[in-house]
Amino acid sequence: MNATNALIFAAFGSLMEIAPRAFPSLFPQCGADQYSCSALWLFVMGATQITIGLGFLALNNLAPFAMAIIARTRAQVGSRLPLPAPRGISIR
């Protein structure tokens, strides 16, 4: 999968979630809870596709970007944290 595929995957997932709300006549209410089973299926599959698409984009693009920022910050600060000068302890 590449970034274009992940974006299309998330877009199709969004369309799957929007379809029952945009076209309620295509999803007749049935059952005890008066909710369409196909609308529920589209909602679950749409959420799954959005999660997979955005998860891939986050791992593929945001994680390397965050690691580069962390590496750059460590290079500027150095490998050791600056500590205050040590003080002697006097015994009374």
For the stretch 14-34, pLDDT in tens is 999 999 889 988 888 887 777
Q: Contact at 8 Å (CB) between 39 and 20?
A: yes
- Taking the alpha carbons of 75, 78, 81, 82 in that order, is the dihedral positive or negative? negative
Structure tokens at 48: 């799954």
pTM over 0.75: no
**Please, what is the average pLDDT of the chain?**
84
Tell me which H or E stretch contains 68: helix 63-77
3-state helix, strand, coil in the chain (%, to 5): 70, 0, 30
Q: Contact at 8 Å (CB) between 42 and 16?
A: yes
- Taking the alpha carbons of 8, 13, 14, 20 in that order, is the dihedral positive or negative? positive
Whole-number pLDDT of residue 91: 76
